[in-house]
């Protein structure tokens, strides 16, 4: 359920990472606006959108950071990893290289996060609508997810299939961790953003939300 309002019980910082052209921005726009653009423009640097949801009687604000997949922006994206509660790693099921490079993205995230910070990850195979061009079978994703003890799902930003489930399941997982004590509400709220990050969040206010 979506809610509007300034007050949130919990704030989560979630980053979307992966190679260029896999559909990171498209997944986010499908989730936030329920729209899809065939001619989406490549992200430069980073873009932040937010969404309020309600789970278990808690108002949750998700600040979702859409990073650029192009190699030249990769170093920049790493600057925003700090304080993240969750990472969404996206590949394109029709592009083997984008799947093979997941390990590198996951390594980058693990290296940047400090030891005392807990975070969750999910691997997302996008473009599920392109079944006839599929290069990575679902079984391969399943094995990779289980091997790395990471959640996984296939979606299509184009048709919308799986996109809500992706975010709902992920937030449930983040909440589960908070409940068993890994995250206390205060700690979640206190995860600080740098002033640059704060200005980015306010610059990218989305019309459907009250960031």
* Residue 11 C-beta: closest distance to ligand GTP, Å: 24
Q: What is the DSSP string of 117-154?
A: ---EEEEEEE-TT-GGG--S-HHHHHHHHHHTT-EEEE
Select 128 or 178, whichever has its Cβ closest to ligand GTP. 128
Select 129 or 169, whichever has its Cβ closest to ligand GTP. 129
Q: How many residues does the chain have?
A: 211
Select 8 or 68, whichever has its Cβ closest to ligand GTP. 68
Number of Cβ within 10 Å of residue 112's Cβ equals: 15
* Residue 72 C-beta: closest distance to ligand GTP, Å: 11
* Residue 76 C-beta: closest distance to ligand GTP, Å: 12
Interface residue list for ligand GTP (CB under 6 A): 20-26, 37-38, 40, 42-43, 68-70, 126-127, 129-130, 156-158
CA distance 14 to 170: 10
Q: State whether residue 164 is helix, strand or coil.
A: helix
CA distance 13 to 156: 23
Select 120 or 127, whichever has its Cβ closest to ligand GTP. 127
* Residue 28 C-beta: closest distance to ligand GTP, Å: 8
């Amino acid at each position: 359920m979506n809610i509007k309002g300034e007050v949130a019980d919990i704030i989560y910082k979630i980053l979307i990472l992966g190679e260029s052209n896999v559909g990171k921005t498209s997944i986010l726009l499908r989730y936030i606006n329920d729209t899809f653009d065939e001619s989406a423009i490549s992200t430069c640097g980073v873009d932040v959108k937010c969404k309020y949801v309600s789970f278990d009687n808690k108002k949750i604000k998700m600040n979702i950071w859409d990073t650029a997949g192009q190699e030249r922006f990769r170093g920049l994206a790493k600057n925003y990893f700090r304080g993240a509660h969750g990472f969404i790693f996206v590949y394109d099921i029709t592009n083997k290289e984008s799947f093979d490079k997941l390990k590198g993205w996951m390594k980058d995230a693990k290296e940047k996060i400090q030891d005392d910070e807990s975070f969750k990850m999910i691997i997302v195979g996008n473009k599920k609508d392109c079944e006839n061009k599929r290069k990575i079978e679902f079984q391969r994703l399943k094995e990779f997810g289980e091997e790395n003890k990471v959640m996984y799902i296939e979606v299509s930003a184009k048709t919308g299939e799986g996109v809500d489930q992706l975010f709902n399941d992920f937030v449930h997982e983040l909440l589960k961790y908070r409940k068993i004590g890994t995250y206390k509400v205060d700690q979640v709220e206190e995860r600080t953003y740098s002033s640059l990050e704060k200005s980015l969040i306010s610059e990218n206010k989305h019309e459907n939300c009250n960031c």
